[in-house]
Every structure is written in structure tokens, then in C-alpha cells.
Amino acid sequence: MKRVGWKTLLLPGALTAFFGAIAGLLAGHGEDCHPAWTFLAGALLSGCAMLGCYLAGVRRPATLLSDAAQRILAGDLSARAKAPGFPADRELVRLTEEFNEIAHRLEEGVSCGQDTLPVLFHELKAPLATIGGYARLLEKNLHPEQNREFARIIHGEVEEMAGLADSLLLLSRLDAGRPEQPPETVDVAEQVRRAFTAREPRWREKELTLALSLGDAKARGYGPLLAHVWGNLVDNAVKYSPAGGTIEASLCEREGRVRFVIRNGGAPILPADLPRVFEPFYRAGNGGGESGHGVGLALARRIVALHGGEITVESGETEGTAFTVTL
């Protein structure tokens, strides 16, 4: 199979990020390894490794990675993939290194909670099925334009899984009380502005109007974590706003308290769903077909609570939802 440019774009980015996130999510401190987690890890390693090797246009190294993954599935966490011989595809070498790093961290111990296992399997089932289906289409050597489109879809699904794994990893760290950096003075106004700027292509595509009133506001806390909160709230506002709608946001600091409010004009959240929107993996029934893994708001609430603050939600009877964060 001839190499084409989109292969180079796919492997180093989202796929590597997904490998790294899964590794961090599964790595624990105990010696016991729940068999289901081992199976999940092995299945993900095997599936993604085989896909990556196929897209890189190699066969025998794919077998080496598959053999190592099968050994992990069988319970041998010491299994490692052999490094490809010279001359070797640079992307394949990197993929093999990522594979072995995950295997090493799995061997150190898996201690994820068993209560999240069914929902995690459910969340990963759809993107993995999509990846498998389009990978089979790629095997048919269709028109290059079709192949590029299929690769783009696979890339998007891998990014979605990477986002899920990253969010779950951060949730587990917060549950364990392990912020990665010391507290600092955070320029909240600058973080909120960056959150909107970073998502400009998306809100421009939907022809949304921004009505922003962002005063100066600073808070003592963990900068990267707070940035995650604003980013998630802006993401949701853009996602659930109707085309041509308006997003309103205000930020102020009074008497040592920071208050941020963001409102969209989309369909309201049903009253029965409001008490549960901050639960992990919960998605309200008015999503309108929008994708998402249902972890973002749960993570935002944990981060806000870590800062001694509060996040609340209000929704109108016919339209509009507002989230308020107080620090």
C-alpha cells in the first residue's frame, strides 16, 4: 500500500495523545489489576496498534504489536513489542515506544474504580465501532479523496476518546487530591478571553453573536484547572446554541469573590435533568444529537469545589441555559 500524506497527520497527534491518556488513566498505585481493566487496555492497545500500523503501510511490525497485545490480554503484563528493524518507519518506531510505555505503566498496577467500568465501556463502544468500520473501508483501497475523508473521521473519533481519557484522568487525580501544580494568582479574565478566542472558528461557523462583559478578575488557585472550567463552559455554550444565536457572558470581581455567568439561547434543560447535569457520564435529554462524553461538567464542578467555589445551572421554560461559577 502506498504512503499518502494523511497517514503522517493521523498517527503522531490524536493517536499518540490517546495512548498517553489511557496510560495515565489506567496507571495506579496498587498491585492488584482488575481483569476487566486489563482486557480493556489490551483491546485498546491491540485495536489502535493494528490500525496505526495499517495506516503506516506495514505488515510484519503490525504482527509484532498484535502479539504483544494478545499476551497482555492473556494477563502477561510484562509483554513488550519488539522494536522494528532497520530501516524502520519513524511513525512506527514512535507507535511501538508508546505501546511499550503503556504496557510498562499497566504492569505497575491498575487501580481504577470498578463502578466506572460499565459506563467507560459504553462510552468507548461507539467510537471504536466507527474506527473499525472506516478502517475496513480503507482496506478496500478506495479513491484517495474517500480515503482522506475516512481518515479524517477516524482522527476525530480518536480525538474524542483521547478527550474522554484525559478528563477521566484529571477526575481521578482530583479525587485523590493531587493537583499537579502549586496554587498561583490566576488572571481569570484573560483565561476567559482565551477560551472564546480558541473556539472562534466554531462560533463563527454557526454565525453566533457574542455579548461579553468581562471585567478584571483574579483568583488564587490552579491556573490550568480553572482554564479547563472556562473552556468547557464555552464549549457547551457554542455546541448548544442554535445557528445565528447569541452567547452572553459576564465576569466580575466583588469583595474578593469572582463571578462568571455564561448563557446560551438553545433548548432548555428539562427540569428532571437539571439536578443531574453535573454527574459523570450523564447527558441531558435535550442534546439534539450533539456528541459529548458527559464528563466535562462533572470535572468542572470538582475543579470549582477544589477552589472553595460553586457552580450552578438555571434553564428557562422555553429556551436558554445559564451556568454561574463563583470563586
Residue 260: which CATH number? 3.30.565.10
Distance of CA 155 to the CA centre of its chain: 13
Residues 191 and 171 in one domain: no
pLDDT over 70 percentage in the chain: 45
Measured on CA atoms in the order 314, 315, 316, 317, is the torsion positive or negative? negative
- Average pLDDT on 276-282 reads 81
Residue ending a domain, among 137, 156, 175, is 175
Residues 33 and 113 in one domain: yes
Nearest in space to 322 (alpha carbons), one of 254, 268, 276: 268
* Model confidence at 6: pLDDT above 50: no
pLDDT tens digits along 121-148: 455 555 555 666 666 666 566 677 776 7
* Model confidence at 326: pLDDT above 70: yes
Structural domain span for residue 93: 5-175
pLDDT tens digits along 90-121: 656 766 776 677 666 555 544 444 445 445 54
The grid coordinates of residue 22 equal 489511557
Residues 165 and 222 in one domain: no
User: What are the helix (H) ranges across 176-307?
Assistant: 188-198, 200-205, 223-240, 296-306
Rg of the chain on CA atoms, in Å: 22
- Average pLDDT on 283-308 reads 73
Residues 225 and 299 in one domain: yes
Helix (H, G, I), strand (E, B) or coil at 274: helix
- Average pLDDT on 182-207 reads 92
- Average pLDDT on 290-305 reads 77
Residues 94 and 41 in one domain: yes
Residues 138 and 221 in one domain: no
Residues 161 and 296 in one domain: no
Q: pLDDT class for 311, splitting at 50, 70, 90?
A: very high
Residues 129 and 191 in one domain: no
Predicted local distance difference test score (pLDDT) of residue 83: 72
Residues 220 and 280 in one domain: yes
- 1, 141 in Cβ contact below 8 A? yes
Residues 154 and 207 in one domain: no
Who contacts 213 (Cβ-Cβ below 8 Å, separation ≥6)? 249, 250, 251
Placement of cell 477521566 in the chain = 168
Residue ending a domain, among 175, 202, 227, is 175
The per-residue pLDDT of the chain, averaged, comes to 71
Residues 98 and 201 in one domain: no
Least confident of 20-24, 182-186, 206-210: 20-24
Which has the higher per-residue pLDDT, 13 or 265? 265
- Average pLDDT on 183-208 reads 92
Which has the higher per-residue pLDDT, 211 or 288? 211
| Number of domains, the chain | 2
Which has the higher per-residue pLDDT, 201 or 164? 201
Report which listed range, 13-22, 148-157, 220-229, is most confident: 220-229
Go through 94-109 and write b for each residue having 16 or more CB atoms within 10 A of its CB, e for each that does not.
Answer: bbbebbbebbebbbee
Residues 217 and 110 in one domain: no
User: What are the helix (H) ranges across the chain?
Assistant: 5-10, 16-26, 35-55, 60-73, 90-108, 117-138, 144-175, 188-198, 200-205, 223-240, 296-306
pLDDT tens digits along 209-258: 999 999 999 999 988 889 889 999 999 999 999 999 999 999 999 989 99
Nearest in space to 230 (alpha carbons), one of 209, 251, 213: 251
pLDDT over 90 percentage in the chain: 24
Residue ending a domain, among 175, 197, 219, is 175
- Average pLDDT on 302-323 reads 90
